[in-house]
Structure 1
Amino acid sequence: MEQPDRCQANMDPSVEAACLKSFMMQSSTDSNMNLYDHFTQVLLKVIDERPHNAVDVIEDISRDLKQALSEDQQSTLRDSSQASAAELLAQQHRLLFNRPREADQEEEEVETAFPNVSEIGFYLEQAGVGLGREEMQRIFLSLKQLVESQSLLRCRLWGKILGTESNYIVAEADHQEGEEEEEENAEEEEKEIESPQNDSEADPLPQSTYKPQPVVPKELKGTGANKYVYYVCKEPGLPWVKLPSVTPTQIAVARQICKFVTGRLDAPVVSFPPFPGNETNYLRAQIARISAGTQVSPRGFFLAGEEESEEEDEAPRDSYEVNPDFEGVPVAEMAESLSTWVHHVQHILPQGRCTWVNMAVKQGENSDEEMEAEEDEEEPDEPEPEIGPPLLTPLSQDQEIFNTPPWSLRMSSNLTGQHAAAVLRSNLWPGAYAYACEKKFENIYIGWGVKYTGGGYSPSVPPLPQNEYPSGPEITEDVDPSPEEEQELKESLEEPHDSQEDADEDEDEDEDEDDD
Structure 2
Amino acid sequence: MKELLAAPVDEEGNPKTDAPGLADVVGEQGLLNSAGMGVPPTEAVIIACGLRRLVTSTEGVTKARFWGKVLCNSPSCDYLIAEAEMEGGGAPLTETEEAAGADAPGRLGGPNFYTYFVSTDSGRSWEPLPHVLPDQIAAARLVKKILTGDLDAPVITWPPFSGRERELLRAQIARITHATRLVPGNYYAEDEESGEVAANPEYSGISSDCREVASVQDYWRHGVDYLINANGRTAWPEVAEPEDGEEESPEAVRQRKMMARESARPMNAKVGAEEGASWTTKCHGDCAQYALFKQVDGAAVKSYVTYGTLSLQSTQWPGAAVVAGQGKHVHTYIGYGMKAGAGGRVAGGPGEIRNTPSAIPECDDPREQPAAAETEEEAVTGEGAE
AA at the equivalent of 1:407: W
Q: In the alignment, what sits opposite 2:283?
A: 411
CA 1:138–1:278 in structure 2 vs 1: closer, same or farther (change >3 Å)?
Answer: same
What per-residue deviation string (whole Å, max 9, x for no partner) do you get for residues 161-191 of structure 1? 0001321000011133389427x34x789xx
Structure 2 distance, partners of 1:180, 1:326, is: 33
Following superposition of structure 1 onto structure 2, how do residues 405-484 of structure 1 map, counting pairs within 5 Å? 405-414=277-286, 418-453=306-341, 456-457=342-343, 459=345
Q: In the alignment, what sits opposite 1:321?
A: 199
In the alignment, is the contact (CA less than 8 A) between 1:331 and 1:421 conserved in 2? no
CA 1:103–1:237 in structure 2 vs 1: closer, same or farther (change >3 Å)?
Answer: same
Q: With structure 2 as the length reference, what TM-score do the two structures score?
A: 0.71
What per-residue deviation string (whole Å, max 9, x for no partner) do you get for residues 439-460 of structure 1? 311101001110011xx54649
SS across alignment from 1:225: coil
Following superposition of structure 1 onto structure 2, how do residues 191-210 of structure 1 map, counting pairs within 5 Å? none
Q: In the alignment, what sits opposite 1:393?
A: 269
CA 1:275–1:355 in structure 2 vs 1: closer, same or farther (change >3 Å)?
Answer: same
CA 1:106–1:160 in structure 2 vs 1: closer, same or farther (change >3 Å)?
Answer: closer
Structure 1 distance, partners of 2:113, 2:89, is: 15
SS across alignment from 2:69: strand
In the alignment, is the contact (CA less than 8 A) between 2:67 and 2:81 conserved in 1? yes
State the shift of 1:347 in Å: 0.1
Structure 2 distance, partners of 1:140, 1:278, is: 28
AA at the equivalent of 1:279: E
AA at the equivalent of 1:355: A
In the alignment, is the contact (CA less than 8 A) between 2:7 and 2:17 conserved in 1? no
In the alignment, is the contact (CA less than 8 A) between 1:433 and 1:443 conserved in 2? yes
**Which of 206, 213, 232 is 1:352 aligned to?**
232
AA at the equivalent of 2:188: F
AA at the equivalent of 1:442: V
Q: In the alignment, what sits opposite 1:125?
A: 33
Structure 1 distance, partners of 2:344, 2:86, is: 37
Structure with higher helix content: 1
Structure 1 distance, partners of 2:16, 2:146, is: 44
Q: In the alignment, what sits opposite 2:72?
A: 163
What per-residue deviation string (whole Å, max 9, x for no partner) do you get for residues 282-329 of structure 1? 0000000000011112221222356846xxxxxxx6x42133243541
In the alignment, is the contact (CA less than 8 A) between 2:223 and 2:268 conserved in 1? yes
AA at the equivalent of 2:321: Y
Following superposition of structure 1 onto structure 2, how do residues 102-181 of structure 1 map, counting pairs within 5 Å? 108=18, 112-151=20-59, 152-165=61-74, 166-177=77-88, 180-181=91-92
AA at the equivalent of 1:164: N
In the alignment, is the contact (CA less than 8 A) between 2:26 and 2:48 conserved in 1? no
Greater shift after overlay, 415-424 or 234-243? 415-424
- Structure showing greater radius of gyration is 1
Q: In the alignment, what sits opposite 1:269?
A: 155
Gaps of 5+ in 2: 290-305, 348-386
What per-residue deviation string (whole Å, max 9, x for no partner) do you get for residues 3-35 of structure 1? xxxxxxxxxxxxxxxxxxxxxxxxxxxxxxxxx
**Which of 233, 252, 260 is 2:138 aligned to?**
252
SS across alignment from 1:181: coil
Structure 2 distance, partners of 1:331, 1:181, is: 43
What per-residue deviation string (whole Å, max 9, x for no partner) do you get for residues 229-272 of structure 1? 10000122431010001111111111112111111001111112
AA at the equivalent of 1:132: P
Greater shift after overlay, 149-158 or 336-345? 336-345
Structure 1 distance, partners of 2:334, 2:172, is: 13
Q: In the alignment, what sits opposite 2:208?
A: 330
State the shift of 1:411 in Å: 1.2
Following superposition of structure 1 onto structure 2, how do residues 504-515 of structure 1 map, counting pairs within 5 Å? none
In the alignment, is the contact (CA less than 8 A) between 2:236 and 2:264 conserved in 1? no
SS across alignment from 1:423: strand
AA at the equivalent of 1:353: R
CA 1:145–1:272 in structure 2 vs 1: closer, same or farther (change >3 Å)?
Answer: same
Structure with higher strand content: 2
Structure 2 distance, partners of 1:106, 1:231, is: 20
SS across alignment from 2:275: coil
Q: In the alignment, what sits opposite 2:102?
A: 218
Q: With structure 1 as the length reference, what TM-score do the two structures score?
A: 0.54
In the alignment, is the contact (CA less than 8 A) between 2:178 and 2:227 conserved in 1? yes
Q: How many pairs does the alignment contain?
A: 312
Greater shift after overlay, 140-149 or 299-308? 299-308
Following superposition of structure 1 onto structure 2, how do residues 272-287 of structure 1 map, counting pairs within 5 Å? 272-287=158-173
- Give the fraction of aligned pairs with identical amino acids, expressed as a percent: 30
Structure 2 distance, partners of 1:188, 1:390, is: 23
Structure 2 distance, partners of 1:235, 1:120, is: 21
What per-residue deviation string (whole Å, max 9, x for no partner) do you get for residues 321-350 of structure 1? 133243541242245311212211110012
In the alignment, is the contact (CA less than 8 A) between 1:304 and 1:391 conserved in 2? no
The reply to whether residue 298 of structure 1 matches residue 206 of structure 2 is no
Structure 2 distance, partners of 1:354, 1:415, is: 37
SS across alignment from 1:282: helix
CA 1:175–1:104 in structure 2 vs 1: closer, same or farther (change >3 Å)?
Answer: same
